[in-house]
A and B are shown apart, each in its own frame.
Chain A
C-alpha cells in the first residue's frame, strides 16, 4: 500500500469536498426552476382535486383559471386583507398573492402570537360557489398536507385531498387514496346544533353524526394527524365564516 503524507491527505480531502460542493451547488441551481414549477403545478392540481376536478400536469394551469375565481388572504380577525383575481391575474387588494403564502410558516408565526395571513381560495363549479382551505399538519414520519373544499354554506364538505412527505406505504400513505378521501364528501364541519366540530377521523366512525370518518387501520397516528390538522386549520377561518354566513 502506498504511503501518503499528511499534507497530501489534507489537500486531497479539501479538494474533493470543494469539487463535490461545486457539483451539488451547480446542479441544485440549474434544476431549481424545474423543481419550483413542479411544486407549484402540484399545488394547483391538489386545489383542483379538492373540488373533484382531476387535472393532468399540463392542463392544471388552464383548469385552475377556469374554476378558481379569487384567492383571498384572511387575517386572524377574519378580515380579508389580500384579494387576487385569478382570471385577470392581478392583485385587487393588498400586495401579496395568497397562492404564494407559506402556510407552514404562518402556522409557526400564529403559535408565537404574531400577525398572520392565511390563504382562502374561492371557486365556482357548476354554478355553485365555494371555498377551498389549505391544510398543513404532521403525520407519523413527517409533514402531511392537503386541501378541503367547502360549499357556500362553509359547512358541507365538497371534497378533500391529502398528501404526505413520508408516511408508510400501504399504511399511513393510504390517506392519499380515494378510499380514504371519498367518505369526507357530504360530511359537515358543524354539528346539528351549529357548533364547530371539524371532521373527526377515528376508528369505528359513527356514520349518523355527519362529522366522523373512518380512520385507516394500521395508520392510526397518521389518521389522528389528519383529524388534528383539519380541526386546527379550519378553526382559523371561523372568524371569517361568522362574518359571511351570519
Chain B
C-alpha cells in the first residue's frame, strides 16, 4: 500500500476524525454508546456502508449530473443501508435486533454523505474504498471509547461481563454505586467533549485561533 493510500486510512483516525474534528455523526454517537457491543456492531455497519457507497459513487462519478448528485448519493446510501439491514436480519438476527432502528438511521449519518460528496465524487474507486474504511474506523474508534466509559461506569460491565467486583456494590455491603448519568445521553456528549479537548491539546494544529 502506497503512502498516499495509507494516509487515507490513517488520517480519519486522528487528524481528520469525523467525530472529533469534523463533528459529524454525533447523533448516533449518543444513541448507541450506552454499551460496547451495539457500538461495535454499529461501527462495523457504518464502515461497510461508507466504504461500499464510496465505491459505487466513485464508479459512477463521471456520469452523475451535478444538479441531481445529492439525490443520487442519497439513493445509493439508502440502498446500501437497506441491503445491510436485510443481510443482518437474515444471517445475524440477534445483532440486527440489538441495533434495531439505528441501522436505518445510518442513512442520516452525515459522515456517509459527507464522504461521498467530499471524496468519492472526485476520486478513483480504490482510493474511495480506503477513504470509506478509514472514516468508518475513525467513527468506530470514538464510538468504542465513549461506549467503554459509559458501560464501565454506568453498568459496571464491559461487553456484558461484570468488571466492577460484586462485593463493592452497596447492595452487597460495599461502598460503590453505578453512575446513572453515564447511561444517559448527556454523558456521551460530555465524553465527546473531553475526547476533543485531549485530542486538541495534543495536536495544536487542530486549534482555531
Q: Closest A-chain residue to B64, C-beta based?
A: A12
Q: Known A38-B89, A217-B180; judge A13-B35 contact (CB<8 A).
A: no
Count of chain A to chain B residue pairs whose CB atoms are closer than 8 Å in the complex: 76
Q: Known A4-B67, A24-B82, A166-B101; judge A16-B34 contact (CB<8 A).
A: no
- What bracket does the count of chain A residues touching chain B fall in? 20 to 34
CA distance A168 to B83 in the complex (A): 24
- Tell me, yes or no, whether A142 is within 8 Å of chain B by CB: yes
Give the distance to chain B from A16, nearest Cβ to Cβ, in Å. Answer: 6
- A137-169 vs B, CB cutoff 8 Å, 1 = contact: the mask equals 000011000000000000000000001111011
- Tell me, yes or no, whether B168 is within 8 Å of chain A by CB: no
- Tell me, yes or no, whether B198 is within 8 Å of chain A by CB: no
- A186-219 vs B, CB cutoff 8 Å, 1 = contact: the mask equals 0000000000000000000000000000000110
Q: B76 — which chain A residues lie within 8 A by C-beta?
A: 20
Q: B75 — which chain A residues lie within 8 A by C-beta?
A: 16-17, 20
Interface of chain B: mostly helix, strand, loop or mixed: helix
Q: A169 — which chain B residues lie within 8 A by C-beta?
A: 32, 34-35, 38, 98
Q: B183 — which chain A residues lie within 8 A by C-beta?
A: 170-171, 218
**In B147-165, which residues have CB < 8 Å from any A CB?**
150-151, 154-155
A12–B63 CB distance below 8 A = yes
- B120-152 vs A, CB cutoff 8 Å, 1 = contact: the mask equals 000000000000000000000000000000110
CA distance A87 to B81 in the complex (A): 41
- Tell me, yes or no, whether B79 is within 8 Å of chain A by CB: yes
CA distance A2 to B102 in the complex (A): 38
- Tell me, yes or no, whether A242 is within 8 Å of chain B by CB: no
- Tell me, yes or no, whether A1 is within 8 Å of chain B by CB: yes
Tell which of B67, B79, B98 touches A9, judged by Cβ atoms closer than 8 Å: B67
Binds B, one of A27-35, A94-102, A114-122: A27-35
B155–A31 CB distance below 8 A = no
B32–A27 CB distance below 8 A = no
- Tell me, yes or no, whether A42 is within 8 Å of chain B by CB: yes
A23–B101 CB distance below 8 A = no
Give the distance to chain A from B175, nearest Cβ to Cβ, in Å. Answer: 20
A165–B63 CB distance below 8 A = no
A23–B79 CB distance below 8 A = yes
A31–B90 CB distance below 8 A = yes
Q: B86 — which chain A residues lie within 8 A by C-beta?
A: 27-28, 31, 35
Give the distance to chain B from A7, nearest Cβ to Cβ, in Å. Answer: 11
B68–A142 CB distance below 8 A = no
- Pick 6 A–B contacts, CB within 8 A, sort by A: A23-B79, A31-B87, A38-B93, A168-B34, A169-B32, A169-B34
List B residues at the A interface (Cβ < 8 Å).
31-32, 34-35, 38, 62-68, 71-72, 75-76, 78-79, 82-83, 86-87, 89-91, 93, 97-98, 100-102, 150-151, 154-155, 180, 183-184
- The 7 A-B pairs of least Cβ separation, nearest first, read A170-B34, A4-B65, A34-B90, A166-B100, A38-B93, A31-B90, A166-B101
